[in-house]
Structure 1
């Protein structure tokens, strides 16, 4: 099929879908029965297809479009960079790269001094692991079972969920259970018990694996794909203390939770700790151009002043991505996007989700911070039995059919709209949720 141009003939959803199915191989999928949603354009928090259907975005795609779609300031910066210098090798000094790094360091806690740019979040985690191993001279990497860190060699091995199992090619990875009171691995009955027992578990894991063999603890500040699992009070401080006690580098993965998503620039700020390395991607330029990176604390950065760093990427600090970062961060500051995520996320979205839970017994738990919320759906609140994959697929299809794009993982709906979303748009989305969940009340006993 020949791809039609807009000025030659009208394009339909079927045209695009047929083209996709003929030539595109999709990620995390069996290819035979795919029926991908077709998107033609977007603006702000809304998307549309070629057939005139419009969708309100409660997914931010893959939780990355923090500033919304087609932000004019970001587009203008990208166009200006295209006209000046479209690409350059990472060994050179480039204005856009330097300005992007400067802005990111300025947002970081005191004591961070350098940024190593990557292409995405996976290779950000990959290179943070590399830095920790080189810096400590140790090998093992501790990470949580309930986690996702990306789909490159070490990042997928560090990931805790089932997707790591067919991909365990990297060495030296050890997993532990992070806190999740709703489905506690520690038989805890309160947040305080969950915190205490999870930290005791981590300490024993460190002791049994040999502290002097452990290079880093890699944790998502708030595990995202695993369920938006907000750590209990004191847990992150406890992990920081364990890392300090045993000389272990603490890497916090802010790929999904960073750059305004939780109502602060970094999610860990709300837990009162400072890591040694911070990985980021997604929200730093709202996904307009692929980019990620590692924020490096001064001791680790200075170590590599006279020690060779054995890592690099052809597109590290690509000028177009860097221009998008500069414009995104400047616009977020001037337009109070982080404040909006806090105020609308905590003050409008969260109460609306709690009201939904009070009305629909399908909802077992609501949790999150800012514009980073989740609904866990169950067929029985007492037993906490998760809805099945078939039931979740039916609910997702109904939400999409009603004009709401959602991020569904297992038995959870991750409610993660762009950080610019207004209170009015939140209420529009909540009305769709209410309508659709009412249709499936029979899934709950």
Structure 2
């Protein structure tokens, strides 16, 4: 598609940038060191700046535009809802809210049929953990290193990556453990079977030493997202489910990033045949068109609050515009076969192509993923697996990854870069031709990363 020309009455890119720099405070950033791109428009898998430079978005925003930008059916649904009822308080039964909850519950695994709506993924995690603690009467939550659960107070304190460190004042009752990751095993494992067994043994030992009767919940991303898209080995999540059942611990799966088609199934839990007690979602539920998240709740936990008030809520819980967007998005995904499309392109096109790139580029240590949810681990040495940049590198230490990202952008690809990885997470309805265009740009950028190896 061709970027739209900017009407004379529209602001210039320079004006947009100037207003941003004067007044917008950006997340996760040193404000004086960033240079945000002024974006003029977006459609499908692409966005463009005010000078007409177009980028293929291999980030899906922040892994949320699962059906791409500006899908006409979702835009029309938001417009129609705005004309009918823009907003209403959450204590009432509203058609868009009821229908969104019904459609989500139809697709969640097992009997997770009650939906508590939030404004996004972080507050979904906050409320899931609150529900678990109140349901069990226990104080502790176990979470994994190499995880991300959100930026609000409790969610960031159960997070296992460095973004937690600056706010690490609310970790009372939070215990971390190592989840499986064979490529960088903490258990000296050589096979997936060993990694799975040893990771489960490690979790069992952690629980034993913490005291099973003190633990309210174990929270895991079904497939960790920002931390590296590490698909768990067969049997691991089922093993965690069994451990939780044995000790009366609530099993919380975070599907904020992995859910709604991203992994080639409606929810990643379906890939492993596991049903959690609570499941959080956001992002892809309505492709990020209007902020929305939530918690899918099991009957046992819902029953805890049948006669006892749940002490939590949000002013915009189940906002009509957000829920109308969710209804339309789920409809589009079903009508257009988006989930099946993501599964097919992931297995037949993207996975094989990424493995072929890895075979040619010494900077690629490992390829992993499923559906439209992939990561390339970039290394200085494939044998030693030394990361291309140190853990949590900044400034000059991060120069190799910065050079890689700059090269990708020069070739019209906007990459998702985190630490020593690039994630390949385009919209779930990306076309095969668009994938091949992005892979060619990725190939060129990896040639720059290769110069830092050896």
What is the CA-CA distance between 1:436 and the residue it aligns to? 2.0
2:363 and 2:381 in contact (8 A); partners too: yes
Alignment partners' CA distance in 1, 2:82 and 2:410 = 38
Helix, strand or coil at the partner of 2:176: strand
Alignment partners' CA distance in 1, 2:148 and 2:54 = 31
Helix, strand or coil at the partner of 2:440: helix
1:354 equivalent to 2:363? Answer no
What is the CA-CA distance between 1:7 and the residue it aligns to? 5.1
Helix, strand or coil at the partner of 2:91: coil
Q: What is the number of residues matched between the two proteins?
A: 441
Alignment partners' CA distance in 2, 1:107 and 1:312 = 24
1:433 equivalent to 2:442? Answer yes
What is the CA-CA distance between 1:25 and the residue it aligns to? 0.8
What is the CA-CA distance between 1:169 and the residue it aligns to? 3.2
1:156-305 matches, within 5 Å, as 156-170=156-170, 171-305=172-306
Alignment partners' CA distance in 2, 1:181 and 1:248 = 26
Q: Which runs of 4+ in 1 moved over 4 A?
A: 6-10
Aligned residue for 1:129? 129
1:29 equivalent to 2:38? Answer no
Aligned residue for 2:140? 140
- In structure 2, which of residues 416, 422, 425 is the aligned counterpart of residue 413 of structure 1? 422
**Unpaired segments ≥5 residues, structure 1:** 1-5
Alignment partners' CA distance in 2, 1:298 and 1:17 = 49
Helix, strand or coil at the partner of 1:283: helix
Aligned residue for 1:333? 334
Alignment partners' CA distance in 1, 2:66 and 2:450 = 32
The root-mean-square deviation of aligned C-alpha atoms, in Å, is 1.2
1:140 and 1:216 in contact (8 A); partners too: yes
1:233 and 1:271 in contact (8 A); partners too: yes
2:140 and 2:216 in contact (8 A); partners too: yes
1:86–1:360 Cα change, 3 Å = same
What is the CA-CA distance between 1:206 and the residue it aligns to? 0.4
Alignment partners' CA distance in 2, 1:26 and 1:401 = 24
Task: With the length of structure 1 as denominator, give the TM-score of the two structures.
Answer: 0.97
Alignment partners' CA distance in 2, 1:75 and 1:237 = 39
Aligned residue for 2:376? 375
What is the CA-CA distance between 1:147 and the residue it aligns to? 0.3
2:279 and 2:296 in contact (8 A); partners too: yes
Task: With the length of structure 2 as denominator, give the TM-score of the two structures.
Answer: 0.95
Alignment partners' CA distance in 2, 1:67 and 1:357 = 28
Deviations 1:179-227 (A, max 9, x none): 1111111111111111111000000000000000000000000000110
Alignment partners' CA distance in 1, 2:379 and 2:165 = 26
What is the CA-CA distance between 1:112 and the residue it aligns to? 1.8
**Unpaired segments ≥5 residues, structure 2:** 1-5, 390-397
What is the CA-CA distance between 1:133 and the residue it aligns to? 0.6
Helix, strand or coil at the partner of 2:253: strand
1:59 and 1:405 in contact (8 A); partners too: yes
Alignment partners' CA distance in 2, 1:214 and 1:277 = 15
Helix, strand or coil at the partner of 1:427: helix
Alignment partners' CA distance in 1, 2:239 and 2:264 = 23
What is the CA-CA distance between 1:9 and the residue it aligns to? 4.3
Deviations 1:262-299 (A, max 9, x none): 00000011111110001000000000000000000111
What is the CA-CA distance between 1:255 and the residue it aligns to? 0.1
1:221 and 1:267 in contact (8 A); partners too: yes
Deviations 1:228-286 (A, max 9, x none): 01001111111001001100000000000000000000001111111000100000000
Alignment partners' CA distance in 1, 2:336 and 2:309 = 41
1:424 equivalent to 2:433? Answer yes
Alignment partners' CA distance in 2, 1:293 and 1:9 = 39
Aligned residue for 1:3? none
2:407 and 2:444 in contact (8 A); partners too: no
Aligned residue for 1:316? 317
Alignment partners' CA distance in 2, 1:49 and 1:64 = 20
Helix, strand or coil at the partner of 2:33: coil
